[in-house]
């Protein structure tokens, strides 16, 4: 049985990452999973140029961000 491929992505604003993930999933025949935070990001939350924005606080604080949804049968992948 061939290896199973999962393309998991988080696309915050422009959809570029989503397009890239969809392209990779299409090329590889992989399953695709969108990572959606339980608490949605506002525009200022994802302002990565602002050191005090939520995204930077989470990155620096190494905070695990709760995500909604789950990958079915992840263990059997």
Of these, 18, 31, 35, 67, which contacts ligand FMN (CB under 6 A)? Answer: 18
Of these, 35, 46, 65, 67, which contacts ligand FMN (CB under 6 A)? Answer: 46
Q: Check residue 39 for interaction with ligand FMN (CB under 6 A).
A: no
Joined together, the tokens standing for residue 35 give 């990572």
Residue 29 CA from chain centroid, whole number: 19
Of these, 6, 15, 39, 42, which contacts ligand FMN (CB under 6 A)? Answer: 15
Joined together, the tokens standing for residue 19 give 């397009």
Continuous H helices in 1-77: 16-28, 54-60
Residue ranges binding ligand FMN (CB under 6 A) = 11-18, 46, 48, 55
């Amino acid at each position: 049985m061939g290896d199973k491929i999962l393309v998991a992505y988080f696309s915050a604003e422009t959809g570029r990452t989503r397009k890239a993930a969809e392209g990779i999933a299409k090329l590889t025949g992989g399953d695709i999973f969108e990572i959606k935070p339980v608490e949605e990001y506002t525009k200022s939350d994802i302002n990565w140029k602002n050191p005090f924005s939520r995204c930077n606080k989470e990155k620096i604080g190494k905070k695990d961000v709760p995500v909604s949804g789950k990958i079915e049968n992840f263990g059997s992948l």
